[in-house]
Amino acid sequence: MKTRITELLGVQYPIVEGGMQWVGRAELAAAVSNAGAFGMVTARSLPTPEDLLKEVHRTRELTDKPFGINLTLSLMAHDVSYDGWLDAIIESGVRVVETAGNKPHLVIDRLKSHGIRIIHKCTSVRHALSAEQAGVDVISIDAFEAAGHPGEDDVPGMVLIPAARRKLKIPMLASGGIADGRSMAAALALGADGVNIGTRFMLTRESAIHENVKQTLVAASELDTTLIKRTLKRTARFYANVVSEEIVALERRPGGATYDDLKDLLSGNRGNQALAAGNIDGGLICASQVIGLIDDIPNCAELVSRMVADCRASLEDGLRTFRS
């Protein structure tokens, strides 16, 4: 497959592993890249910038293919310094960085001055246009179905992807609700140059999360996620477990809830421990509505090969249907 994304990233297929906290580690990133897609190491899953450099080194021991680094910029704090992380990214020699969260303006100049390409995740057309104007190279447009932070506009992919394509000039990845070749074909038909996939790669053999979490999400339906932090205007989508439901209940009580009321339940370390131990109700578990379309746990090579074959077949079937 040849698109602007494959040419820019130097990969066979226009499939990018989304940056997933606690999940985007060396084994998964390398497996995605070895499959012909583009793997992603998530920087802030790691304790320090020095640990990021070690993780990049581990990834290079597992693949000689291109991969990138995800750097999530804090939504809550505006006085955070990313200098240490940027130093590590530049020293690592990785040529593509995916930014998410806050405005990429905070890091664009530093990364671009070292020839690093930037993919920025956005949840609205207006934010995508702002990032394009600021100089990012690729937009990942995250629709309402996505795991993590889908924004506050509640626009699904069938509308958001073509709306963004009408306005953007730079390459665009579609993100949210993509798990198989048919959804990939739909994203390309709607104007995307490629797809950004998180939850589907999380549910593969190379993903380091506990098997109990994988099996629970595979058995779930598209109705088994919930939106938290809506009242704080920081909407996020997670698997509907005891912790996420308790957060929603606190937000719905008279007077609502503050961030301080929720911070123990929102703890990232608590979520990380739940993923590692297989404790489904131990912490927040990020998951897209796309879990309703996932029914197995393949390795990354099997998944990418199947997706590409099904994508091509779906596009050809669509043409045949149109012609008839």
Same domain, 149 and 122: yes
Closest CA to 38 of 63, 21, 72, 71: 63
What is the phi/psi pair of residue 170, to 5°? -80, 165
Same domain, 153 and 274: no
Q: Along the chain (324 residues), what's the average pLDDT of each consecutive run of 10 residues?
A: 96 97 96 98 94 98 98 73 94 97 89 97 97 97 96 97 98 96 97 98 98 98 98 96 98 96 95 97 97 97 98 87 68
**Per-residue pLDDT at 321:** 73
Residues with Cβ within 8 Å of 134's Cβ and at least 6 positions away in sequence, in order, are 103, 104, 105, 108
Domain range for 268: 225-286
Beta bridge partners of 96: 117
**Per-residue pLDDT at 74:** 79
Q: Report which residue type is found at 38.
A: F
Same domain, 188 and 252: no
Answering whether pTM is above 0.75, one says: yes
Same domain, 88 and 25: yes
Domain count, the chain: 2
Closest CA to 100 of 68, 140, 134: 140
Same domain, 60 and 27: yes
**Per-residue pLDDT at 135:** 96
Same domain, 205 and 268: no
Give the Cα-Cα-Cα angle 292, 298, 301 (nearest 5 degrees): 125
In a domain, 295, yes or no: no
- Taking a C-beta distance cutoff of 8 angstroms, is the pair 150, 142 a contact? yes
Same domain, 89 and 179: yes
Look up the CATH number of the domain holding residue 16.
3.20.20.70
